[in-house]
A and B are shown apart, each in its own frame.
Chain A
Amino acid sequence: EAQVTQNPRYLITVTGKKLTVTCSQNMNHEYMSWYRQDPGLGLRQIYYSMNVEVTDKGDVPEGYKVSRKEKRNFPLILESPSPNQTSLYFCASSGLAGRLNTEAFFGQGTRLTVV
């Protein structure tokens, strides 16, 4: 089954304690992206990647890091989480634009609370 898998689904952590949210896709997609979703603000892009070792900032990259060492994985790293990073996070993947069937598939979400 084609899917994007995020872990964990829920996470409560303390300010300053480094954490990683994993994202994995089994569709051999080149493009992967992280978003955060906050009430009234919609989906905002944090970072994206167009292929292995190719990453770029989205609209709200501050306080986040990513890596793309393998095509299927795109972890989101918070080196020193702060309460304003409390949010619902989504990973998504798709094929590259200009080809057929390049819709985005989303993970189930990770609800992060930083206290």
Chain B
Amino acid sequence: GQQLNQSPQSMFIQEGEDVSMNCTSSSIFNTWLWYKQDPGEGPVLLIALYKAGELTSNGRLTAQFGITRKDSFLNISASIPSDVGIYFCAGRSDNYGQNFVFGPGTRLSVLP
């Protein structure tokens, strides 16, 4: 099935640095979601976006719904050790009925 493209695949950063990651698709989406997954646990919703151009924050996290509706971005400011994990994007659109399409994830490591 369709998958979203996420970049980077993985990243190593120093504690306190800012992080940016993105998610792209060849088709448009009506909803963009960002999740964080800890090892062996279920993905936890971080931010949900429903309108093109929408910019939403959740604490140190900020995500944007791209104007073209084909991409989304997640930024984490002033990273801390507990930010370590895998970040997934997900999209939903009429093209895929009720189903969600997921990216492969960005693995984030934070060095002290």
Which residues from chain A sit less than 8 Å from chain B, CB to CB? 4, 31, 33, 42-45, 48, 50, 58-59, 88, 90, 92, 94, 96-98, 100-109, 111
| A-B CB proximity, top 9 nearest | A106-B42, A59-B1, A103-B48, A42-B104, A43-B102, A106-B43, A108-B42, A109-B42, A31-B98
- Please tell me which one of the listed residues A88, A97, A105 contacts residue B98 in the complex, with CB atoms under 8 A apart: A97
Q: Take A33-B99, A101-B48 as given contacts and tell me if A108 and B41 are in contact as well, using a CB distance cutoff of 8 Å.
A: yes
Is B66 an interface position by the 8 A CB rule? no
Which residues from chain B sit less than 8 Å from chain A, CB to CB? 1, 3, 30-31, 33, 35, 40-45, 48, 50, 88, 90, 92-94, 97-100, 102-105
Nearest B residue to A59 via CB reads: B1
Chain B nearest CB from A5 CB (Å) reads: 11
Residue numbers in B under 8 Å from A88 (CB-CB)? 40
B40 touches A111 (CB 8 A): yes
CA distance A45 to B97 in the complex (A): 14
Residue numbers in A under 8 Å from B100 (CB-CB)? 33, 92, 94, 104
Chain A nearest CB from B14 CB (Å) reads: 27
CA distance A33 to B100 in the complex (A): 10
Residue numbers in A under 8 Å from B42 (CB-CB)? 4, 90, 106-109
CA distance A100 to B93 in the complex (A): 14
Residue numbers in A under 8 Å from B1 (CB-CB)? 44-45, 58-59
CA distance A112 to B31 in the complex (A): 31
Given A108-B41, A111-B40, list of 19 further CB < 8 A pairs? A50-B98, A58-B1, A90-B42, A94-B100, A96-B98, A97-B31, A97-B92, A97-B93, A97-B97, A97-B98, A101-B48, A103-B45, A103-B48, A104-B33, A104-B100, A107-B42, A108-B42, A109-B40, A109-B41
